[in-house]
Amino acid sequence: MLSSVIKRVFLPNSICNTVNRPEITKSCTRYFSSLFISPTRVLKFEPVCVQQIRYESFFKKHTAEHIWKSVTSVSNAGKKRGRGKGAGKKRAKNLNRGQVIGVGVDNMIWPGLNAPIIKGRDLIKRTQLPPDPERESRLIKLRDSLGTFRSIRLSPTERGWSGNKMPGRSIGPPHSINEYNFDGFDSKVLEFKTVFCMKANAGRYRRISVVAVTGNKNGLAGFALGKAADSKAALRRAQNRAGQKLMYIERYNNHTVYHDFFTQFCNTKIFVEKRPEGYGLKCHRAIQTICEMIGITDLYAKVEGSTNIQNLVKAFFLGLLKQKTHQQLADETKYHLVEFRRENDYLPVIVASPTGSVNENPKEAPDFLQYVMDNKVRLRKKKFPPFYTRKTHWYIKEKKLETVRNIDKAKLNLLVEYGEIRSFLTDKYPECRPMQKNSIKKEVDETDQS
């Protein structure tokens, strides 16, 4: 009967006449028979397990710590605008400590939130428990025991250039490489910043960029750049790379450079000048930190142009490596290198002599400062006289002091030349010789003895 119905419904006369009817009938019967359920299967009983399902909420999906963070933190857009700087650090107490979700001032049992839905064979219902008067006092006692937030206090020697920021702070010696240990070395951070790079898949790729310098304070130093996703990893990478790129820097008497020099990298220009012992370091703070790692204690440096830290470090190291010793300068110029020092009353002292022939023509001798500075001149601002020099009272004062303006220098010169204070009429009128301090003392001593 089923096959006859299928034939009449699904097969037109034109098709039925051309196609093999027995085969189509068999296939259609087999297909439609699988769609009908036999009476025996419908009447068959199968046990069904019914379980109550509670839909998950926002408070059940995340942990309590994540929920508290969503309340107290700042969004990414807010961070870009400078909001909430250090908000996570300045939170004095963890308000989540002692709190349980679902348990509050009203002491209630909520099935599925703070209590199970089924306990054994009994279904737990929402019930009101007696109030707990000691709950608030317990929470306050627990929060007070946590203490308050205290900022990290560093000693003045451990601080950086500005407060507790990383640039200028010491991070210790580099890690040992195989059997070599960096004994006596120290590393300091010169630059610490966050950089972003746009990636096709990851978007804004954030990393920490660190420039560090390391040295043993005895002429051996190196610098390097390190980047990593974590600040600790970036510091360690820059520190260890700097230890692998050490350079030896020549120093004059272990306290300053051999001569003045000019150095440049990109748009950063540095004019370095040699200074006597005890002068100190008067230069950019990055150059000062590098000098401390190298062991240079007396130096003056003037920076012109860009003060980019990386360009500054590269320019200064290039200048230190290009400086020449006194012997090299004498060999290049074929002249004696002479030094004038205050300790020697500015008398010429030969520091180095050229090997071989000596050029004796003084007119061909190059100017030392122009030679070592590569014909570069440091920009010096014009000093204008003070404003009060244009006033009337200043003119009156200068006119009154005109007769005695050089009296101190004149007295000193007379004492050096004649041994006493005198004038051009002293020989003609000896009785008008001015009273000397030593003569007054002698007269007082003679009167006392008599």
65-119 residue pLDDT tens: 777 777 777 877 887 777 766 655 555 466 666 777 677 788 888 888 878 888 8
Report pLDDT for 317: 96
Summary mean pLDDT of the chain? 81
Mean pLDDT of 389-417: 90
Percent above pLDDT 70 for the chain: 78
| pLDDT band (50, 70, 90) for residue 2 | very low
* Closest residue by Cα to residue 213 from 158, 295, 156, 303: 295
* Between 262 and 155, the higher pLDDT residue: 262
Percent above pLDDT 90 for the chain: 38
Distance CA 319, CA 314 (A): 9
Give strand pairing partners of 268.
265, 305
Q: What is the DSSP letter of 428?
A: T
| pLDDT band (50, 70, 90) for residue 287 | very high
Look at residue 11 and tell me whether its pLDDT is greater than 60: no
Q: What is the pTM of this model?
A: 0.59
Q: Residue 315: how many CB atoms within 10 A of its CB?
A: 25
Mean pLDDT of 275-296: 95
Instruction: Assess contact for 382 and 397: CB atoms under 8 A.
Output: no
Report pLDDT for 274: 93
Report pLDDT for 438: 64
Q: Residue 222: how many CB atoms within 10 A of its CB?
A: 21
Report pLDDT for 214: 96
* Range 26-29, long-range pairs (CB < 8 A, 24+ positions): 28/3, 29/2, 29/3
Whole-number Cα distances in Å, 114 to 61, 64, 125 = 15, 14, 12
Give strand pairing partners of 123.
118
Report pLDDT for 146: 64
Mean pLDDT of 1-27: 49
Mean pLDDT of 173-186: 89
Where are the extended beta strands (E) located within 148-267?
186-199, 203-215, 220-228, 247-248, 261-265
Helices (H), 276-349: 285-294, 309-322, 326-333
Among 233-237, 335-339, 342-346, 441-445, which stretch is predicted with the lowest mean pLDDT?
441-445
Q: pLDDT digits over 187-205, tens only?
A: 999 999 999 999 888 788 8
* Between 310 and 15, the higher pLDDT residue: 310
Look at residue 447 and tell me whether its pLDDT is greater than 70: no
Distance CA 209, CA 212 (A): 10
Look at residue 40 and tell me whether its pLDDT is greater than 70: no
* Closest residue by Cα to residue 334 from 377, 293, 365, 300: 365
Mean pLDDT of 274-283: 93
Q: pLDDT digits over 139-158, tens only?
A: 888 777 765 556 667 777 77
CA 139 to chain centre: 41
Distance CA 431, CA 374 (A): 63
* Closest residue by Cα to residue 207 from 186, 185, 229, 180: 229
Angle made by CA atoms 130, 135, 136, in degrees to the nearest 5: 130
Look at residue 12 and tell me whether its pLDDT is greater than 50: no
